[in-house]
Amino acid sequence: MPLLDRHGAKAEIWTRSESAAIDNLSHALVDWAALPEALAQKTRDQRIGVVIPNTVRIPELKLLMRQLSLIAISFPSFGDGRGFSLARLIRNHGFTGTLRASGPLIVDQFAYAIACGFDEVELPEASAARQPVEQWTRALGQISHGYQRGYGDSGNILDRRRSARLKHAAAS
Amino acid sequence: MYRYDEFDERFVRERVAQFRDQVGRRLDGSLTEDEFKPLRLKNGVYLQLHAYMLRIAVPYGTLSSRQMRQLALIGERYDRGYGHFTTRTNLQFNWPKLRDIPDILDLLADVEMHAIQTSGNCIRNVTADHFAGVAQDEIEDPRPTAELIRQWSSLHPEFDYLPRKFKIAVTGAAHDRAVIKAHDIGLRILRHPDTREIGYEVIVGGGLGRTPMIGKVVREFLPKADLLAYLEAIMRVYNLEGRRDNKYKARVKILVHEIGTEEFSRRVEEEFARLDGPSVNADPAEVARIAAYFAPPAYDALPATSGAFEAAKAGNPDFARWVETNVTPHRQPGYAALTISLKPIGAPPGDATSEQMRLVADLADEFSLSEIRVTHAQNLVLPQVKQADLFAVWRRLGEADLATANVGLITDIIACPGLDYCALATARSIPIAQALAQRFADAGRQKEIGVLNIKISGCINACGHHHVGHIGILGLEKRGIESYQITLGGDATENAAIGEILGPGLAAEDVPDAIERIVSVYLAQRQTGESFIDNVRRIGLAPFKAAFQEVSHAVA
């Protein structure tokens, strides 16, 4: 399925494995249910990613996170925003690997996804066919600065006002 | 009042451009109708029964005269010369063309306004006490808090696809005029009993709709500086755990109800404790920057009472009666806050024509430091009027049919647009309000009855707040016929209560008689000085039910 990040279309390096059988895949992407078994088989050089439903609780995931290189959070529909909060929680709990939003997102959610800690979006063919990649990259710049602090946007309005104040105070 | 800086200005302009782009992508097929729908809703664009409707945000009900004139202009140029003020203190235009909406948004941006998040499953327009800054019982002005929340909640990356809509209200006074207990989050500014520090009582899980609930206190005292981090914690718990399987069970009130206030509070506190507050909260200088816009204006030093004002009252009983109902004491000696009733007898509640809007703007410039407020009861307020000017203002209002002396009385009815406009409605609301106003039009009778809030909703979604009306009227549809259910004993203040159903539904034409009977019971049974709602609380529902049944039997 088509994959993209903030720079545009991206090649898929992960191979989906239906079961826990990860054989000699270098980048194996397994389902949540198969994860414990897959991790048990993992060799030193193998990279494991997991596809999780948006109902997974942090305590269930937290102890496994360090062994994962990618977490793909499923979006069953674009209107179901649980994935945004789950991404934030996963980042807040220290996950530094790749975070992927997987599902029928729309262009207008791309900036939100990035702000919540996602690196990339994996779309169903039909969504991608209607919404070309250039719409996604263009959408990222539509709102220059948001009002929320702590959402990876160093240019957020509150911090910008703060630096303007400090600059002003230093000058006077 | 708050003024946009360069960042706010750019944000709103970019939002308009984004909406134009969204419309374009819908038209070229990039977005499906299902995908476009929440995008237009989050910009206030509804598809109603007859036309598109545009809902414009009036943040915490505060308008300048300049903004009001712009609304008048938009009403004339793009609508039918009037607008409708809502129970969320927003303004709705009922007849704009979809193709004109981006241009309307540009005109709004010119006066620091927008339609962001006036609908959709996101944090909606924040409301506050309409007497903010001038109320005598105020601990702190709620508007800086509301403005901070307005900014923080705008296009929030994490909380724009919530299970359901989310409403926040703030009050800074002892008497609750903002109905905070019927909101998803209600914030009450208070002083800590020991330290005297200012903070918030945080109430979550109130709401009306088909399952009305009074909000529960989840935090008795939240230090002011922690506001945004605490809101983030509440929203995260709700976004992850609120129900998404059934839209009628998706509001936060259901989550709080299902897991219990204590457990909800525990989850919020756990997330709040884990959050890095300082990286989320606004710094004190930012809070102070916003608060400075709401500093008290330069008032004239006046005696507590004006001789000219007293003389005018003595010489003109109509004026005196209007003062009694529509004028509220002000914290500054010699000033008053006056409420302009948008409920003239027989007119749709909350409607104002463009000419009326312009007159209000002119009066605000001349007499109220250019300030106007919108109330959740669908009236307008001039908050900064000298007592000595009240008579002149009253006369000018009277020329435009804006001097109805009925604020808080039985004809000051809240009503949603109902089946006359709304695609969700199951029954008409406006004609019921009109019939009741006509029935109780007599000024002497209204005065005798005293404070009595009638609130009418044309469907179970309860936009007309019927659950918290002293008398609530809910319009339903039964076998193709409109049927009106009457509730009694609701209260929208700090004593918030949900009304109880009196009996079977009535036909539209029987509603005035039923209300008449209810009022008669009160008049017969009240003690000296006892208000309607106090009387209902004291004698209970039984006598009212008995009287009500006579009406329903008579028509059955």
Q: Is residue A131 located within the same domain as residue A167?
A: no
Q: Tokens standing for A23?
A: 């054989």
B154, closest residue in chain A (CA to CA): A147
Q: Do B161 and A78 touch (CB under 8 A)?
A: yes
Q: Is residue A24 located within the same domain as residue A41?
A: yes
Q: How far apart are CA B103 and CA B290, in angstroms?
A: 29
Lowest-confidence segment of B92-101, B323-332, B368-377, B507-516 by average pLDDT: B92-101
Exposure string for B434-451, b = 16+ CB within 10 A, e = fewer: bbbbebbeebeebeebbe
A160 touches chain B (CB under 8 A): yes
* Chain region(s) in chain B for CATH 3.30.70: 6-110
Q: Is residue A17 located within the same domain as residue A57?
A: yes
Q: Do B30 and A157 touch (CB under 8 A)?
A: no
Sign of CA dihedral A98, A103, A109, A110: positive
Residue B398 clears pLDDT 60, i.e. is over it:
yes
AA identity, residue B69:
R
Residue B548 clears pLDDT 80, i.e. is over it:
yes
Of B268, B264, B137, B139, the closest CA to residue B199 belongs to: B139
Residue B545's alpha-carbon distances to B101, B102, B497, B552, in angstroms, are: 49, 52, 18, 10
Burial environment of residue B194 by CB neighbours within 10 A (0 to 12, 13 to 18, 19 or more):
exposed
Q: Do A92 and B30 touch (CB under 8 A)?
A: no
Residue A126 clears pLDDT 90, i.e. is over it:
yes
For the segment B9-35, what is each residue's pLDDT rounded down to a tens digit? 999 999 999 999 999 999 999 999 999
User: pTM for the full model?
Assistant: 0.95
Look at the domain B134-292 and name its fold: Sulfite Reductase Hemoprotein; domain 1 (3.30.413)
Query: Of B15, B30, B34, B238, which to mutate for an interface test with A (greatest number of A Cβ within 10 Å)?
Result: B30
Q: What does pLDDT average to over chain A?
A: 94
Quote the distance between the C-alpha of residue B395 and its chain's center: 27
**Torsion angle of alpha carbons B41, B26, B423, B114, nearest 10°?**
30
B155, HSE (Cβ side, Cα atoms, 13 Å): 28
Predicted local confidence at residue B479, as pLDDT? 87
Q: What CATH number does the domain containing A120 carry?
A: 3.20.20.70
Which of A79, A132, A142 is facing B38, going by the closest CB pair? A79
For the segment B459-506, what is each residue's pLDDT rounded down to a tens digit? 999 999 999 999 999 999 988 899 999 999 999 999 999 999 999 999
For residues B534-544, give the mean pLDDT: 96
For the segment A37-82, what is each residue's pLDDT rounded down to a tens digit? 999 999 999 999 999 999 999 999 999 999 999 999 999 999 999 9
| Helical H segments across A17-97, by residue range | 35-41, 58-62, 82-92
CATH placement of domain B6-110: 3.30.70
- Round to the nearest angstrom and report the end-to-end CA distance of chain A: 56
φ/ψ of residue A21, rounded to 5: -75, 100
Please report which helix (H) or strand (E) contains residue B49, including its range: none
For the segment A84-105, what is each residue's pLDDT rounded down to a tens digit? 999 999 999 999 999 999 999 9
A53 touches chain B (CB under 8 A): no
A79, closest residue in chain B (CA to CA): B161
> Å from B120 to nearest chain A CA?
11
Q: How far apart are CA A27 and CA A41, in angstroms?
A: 13
B287, closest residue in chain A (CA to CA): A158
* Chain region(s) in chain B for CATH 3.30.413.10: 134-292, 414-555
Q: Is residue A105 located within the same domain as residue A167?
A: no
Q: Is residue A157 located within the same domain as residue A75?
A: no
- Round to the nearest angstrom and report the end-to-end CA distance of chain B: 55
For the segment B30-88, what is each residue's pLDDT rounded down to a tens digit? 999 999 999 999 999 988 777 789 999 999 999 999 999 999 999 999 999 999 999 98
SS3 content of chain A, % helix, strand, coil (to 5): 40, 20, 40
Helices and strands per DSSP (H, E), number in chain B: 19, 20
Beta strands B52-56; B91-93: pairing state: antiparallel
CATH number (3.40.50.300, 3.90.480.20, 3.90.1300.10, 3.30.300.130) of B307-399 reads: 3.90.480.20
Query: Of B35, B114, B119, which to mutate for an interface test with A (greatest number of A Cβ within 10 Å)?
Result: B35
Q: Do A81 and B160 touch (CB under 8 A)?
A: yes
- Residue A155: pLDDT band with limits 50, 70, 90: confident
Residue B392 clears pLDDT 70, i.e. is over it:
yes
Residue B556 clears pLDDT 70, i.e. is over it:
no
Q: What does pLDDT average to over chain B?
A: 95
Q: Is residue A157 located within the same domain as residue A104?
A: no
For the segment B203-260, what is each residue's pLDDT rounded down to a tens digit? 999 999 889 999 999 999 999 999 999 999 999 999 999 999 999 999 999 999 999 9
**Torsion angle of alpha carbons B340, B345, B349, B353, nearest 10°?**
-70
Q: How far apart are CA B429 and CA B312, in angstroms?
A: 38
Place of tokens 């399987």: B245
| A160 chain-B contacts, CB cut-off 8 A | 7
Query: Of B4, B5, B7, B252, which to mutate for an interface test with A (greatest number of A Cβ within 10 Å)?
Result: B7
Of B441, B433, B407, B410, the closest CA to residue B321 belongs to: B407
Q: Quote the number of domains for chain A.
A: 2
B340, HSE (Cβ side, Cα atoms, 13 Å): 32
Of B361, B354, B346, B345, the closest CA to residue B84 belongs to: B354
| B236 chain-A contacts, CB cut-off 8 A | 85, 88-89
Which of B240, B279, B285 is facing A150, going by the closest CB pair? B279
**Percent of chain B topping pLDDT 90:** 92
Q: Do A144 and B10 touch (CB under 8 A)?
A: yes
* Chain region(s) in chain B for CATH 3.90.480.20: 307-399
**Torsion angle of alpha carbons B311, B315, B319, B322, nearest 10°?**
80
For residues B187-198, give the mean pLDDT: 97
| B5 chain-A contacts, CB cut-off 8 A | 161
Predicted local confidence at residue B553, as pLDDT? 65
For the segment B131-158, what is each residue's pLDDT rounded down to a tens digit? 999 999 999 999 999 999 999 999 999 9
Q: What does the DSSP 8-state code read for residue B341?
A: P
Q: Which domain holds residue A25?
A: 3-141
Q: Is residue A118 located within the same domain as residue A163?
A: no
> Å from A41 to nearest chain B CA?
32
Q: How far apart are CA B77 and CA B101, in angstroms?
A: 12
Size of interface A-B (CB pairs under 8 A): 119
For residues B92-107, give the mean pLDDT: 92
A7 touches chain B (CB under 8 A): no
Predicted local confidence at residue B555, as pLDDT? 54
CATH superfamily assigned to domain B414-555: Sulfite Reductase Hemoprotein, domain 1 (3.30.413.10)
